[in-house]
Amino acid sequence: MTKVRQLPYGEPAEKGLNVRLVMEEASRCLLCEDAPCSHDCPAGTDPGRFIRSIRFRNFTGACKTIRHNNILGASCAEICPQERLCEKACSRCGIDKPIQIGKLQAFAMEQERLLGLKILEAAPSCGKKVACIGAGPSGLAVAAELAKLGVSVTVYDENEKAGGMLRYGITPSRLSDEIIDQDIKAVESLGVKFELSRRIDKNELDKLVAQYDAVYVGVGLSASKMIPNLKGTDLKGVETALAFLKRARIAGGKIEDLGRVVIIGGGDVAMDCASTAKQCGAKSVYVAFIETLETMPASKRELDYIVDLGVPVIPAFKPVQLNGEDHVTSVELAAMEGNSKITLDADTVIFAVGQKVQDDYKGMTSDGKIFVGGDLANGGKTVVEAVASGKDIAGEIAKFLHI
């Protein structure tokens, strides 16, 4: 019988490499000229270069390469889908197996944290001011890149803490507060200021446009989608993935009375909800999604993790109705093909069926002093792609400001 893992809320899902294993792994690197791994990192983190530094035990040099190229280097090391990007491109794939680039990056970033290395510093002022709305991945990247050019940047966010989807859309077993805080500290070390718990609506936006030389809107996809016309979604006990992950993060996993949980959705966010519900002491957790196991959007790593935690998954089924009088009591599911039906008892139903733009920013495009980017412009991609988009937009803003 397979042993079911039991982890407390926030406990890391995977262990890092120790220094001996790191050196062994780095010594497998072929030190490729014009490294394919570096070509395939959307944010230009340049693994070929930082692995070379690690190989020669120059850990500070490795941190410098990562930080200068990717301001969210610590978070990306943990949550990037390396198996689809740098590791897939690695030359060692043709020999045996790719270098564990994510693990080497995580080790370098751990050195920065443990040794308190100060890699970045504020640049002399160029006299320009920019506001960034949204302290998520693209907002942080835009802020950091502009600050490096001497721009005075203030980041506004409606949440109490910076990080956006990093903090409130991912479970801490995959990305801890400590690692997010490390990346935020790197942004702050460039002189960037944060105005948190401050929601910027259309009126406030107009004021910021008048006050600043440019405004970046990178609010991301911070509202959750629901399945339209599904009976019972207004019952008590029904919530969205983002609301659930956020309240779990704020409560440090101390959520009671989840009871029997059913999660609808087959992406990484749904997997995060499943592990979170399990770690918060739910009586039972099921995940149902419309895709097959082969076509579901979640990464294999995240699916394997919830299966290890003993969460059953129900592929190729869709919800057709939620039952209950005041509070939800069950979910009816129907097979995508054929006539099979399943009814699952439920006290909590969580919908992880995608995210959308907040109403305030719907349809917004770059115009004059306003620049739009990140998930708001490209419809929701990975964190490393949001960093890449942030770097591009920072370049456009710099050009606009003639710096």
Q: Which is nearer to ligand SF4, 25 or 188 (CB)?
A: 25
What's the number of CA atoms in the CB half-sphere (13 Å) around residue 319?
30
Q: Which is nearer to ligand SF4, 32 or 364 (CB)?
A: 32
Pairing of strands 284-288, 193-195: unpaired
DSSP assignment, residue 124? P
Cα separation, 212 vs 129, whole angstroms: 5
CB contact set of 14 (below 8 Å; sequence gap of 6+): none
- Which residue in 358, 355, 168 sits closest to 272, CA to CA? 168
Select from 16, 36, 315, 395 the one that contacts ligand SF4 (CB under 6 A). 36
58 sits near ligand SF4 (criterion: CB under 6 A) = no
Select from 32, 123, 126, 320 the one that contacts ligand SF4 (CB under 6 A). 32
DSSP assignment, residue 204? H
Give the pair of three-digit tokens for residue 167. Answer: 């903090």
Please identify, among the stretches 46-54, 133-141, 157-165, 362-370, the one whose residues bind ligand SF4 according to the rule CB under 6 A: 46-54
Q: Which is nearer to ligand SF4, 92 or 247 (CB)?
A: 92
Select from 22, 51, 184, 350 the one that contacts ligand SF4 (CB under 6 A). 51
Please identify, among the stretches 26-34, 179-187, 341-349, 374-382, the one whose residues bind ligand SF4 according to the rule CB under 6 A: 26-34
376 phi and psi angles, rounded to 5 deg: -60, -35
Q: Which is nearer to ligand SF4, 29 or 79 (CB)?
A: 29
- Which residue in 329, 216, 323, 319 sits closest to 270, CA to CA? 319
DSSP assignment, residue 92? G
Residue 350 C-alpha from the chain's centroid: 19
Select from 10, 42, 48, 172 the one that contacts ligand SF4 (CB under 6 A). 48
Q: Which is nearer to ligand SF4, 92 or 246 (CB)?
A: 92
Beta bridge partners of residue 349, listed in sequence order: 238, 262
Per-residue binding string, ligand SF4, 150-189, x by CB under 6 A, is ----------------------------------------
Q: Which is nearer to ligand SF4, 32 or 226 (CB)?
A: 32
Interactions with ligand SF4, residue window 83-122 (CB under 6 A): 90-92, 99, 101
Amino acid identity, position 307: V
CB 303 within 8 A of CB 328: no
35 sits near ligand SF4 (criterion: CB under 6 A) = yes
**Residue 362 C-beta: closest distance to ligand SF4, Å:** 41
Select from 4, 30, 196, 243 the one that contacts ligand SF4 (CB under 6 A). 30
**Residue 54 C-beta: closest distance to ligand SF4, Å:** 10
**Residue 187 C-beta: closest distance to ligand SF4, Å:** 27
Cα separation, 287 vs 399, whole angstroms: 47
How many residues of this chain bind ligand SF4 (CB under 6 A)?
Answer: 15
Helices (runs of H) and strands (runs of E) counted in the chain: 16, 15
29 sits near ligand SF4 (criterion: CB under 6 A) = yes
Amino acid identity, position 171: T
Q: Which is nearer to ligand SF4, 31 or 251 (CB)?
A: 31
**Residue 267 C-beta: closest distance to ligand SF4, Å:** 28
Cα separation, 299 vs 134, whole angstroms: 27
47 sits near ligand SF4 (criterion: CB under 6 A) = yes
**Residue 98 C-beta: closest distance to ligand SF4, Å:** 6
- Can you say whether the dihedral through the CA atoms of 180, 39, 297, 217 is positive or negative? positive
Q: Which helix (H) or strand (E) holds 207?
A: helix 202-211
Cα separation, 401 vs 160, whole angstroms: 30
**Residue 315 C-beta: closest distance to ligand SF4, Å:** 34
For the chain, what's the residue count?
Answer: 403
Pairing of strands 341-345, 193-195: unpaired
Q: Which is nearer to ligand SF4, 91 or 111 (CB)?
A: 91
**Residue 104 C-beta: closest distance to ligand SF4, Å:** 8
Q: Which residues bind ligand SF4 (CB under 6 A)?
A: 29-32, 35-37, 47-48, 51, 90-92, 99, 101
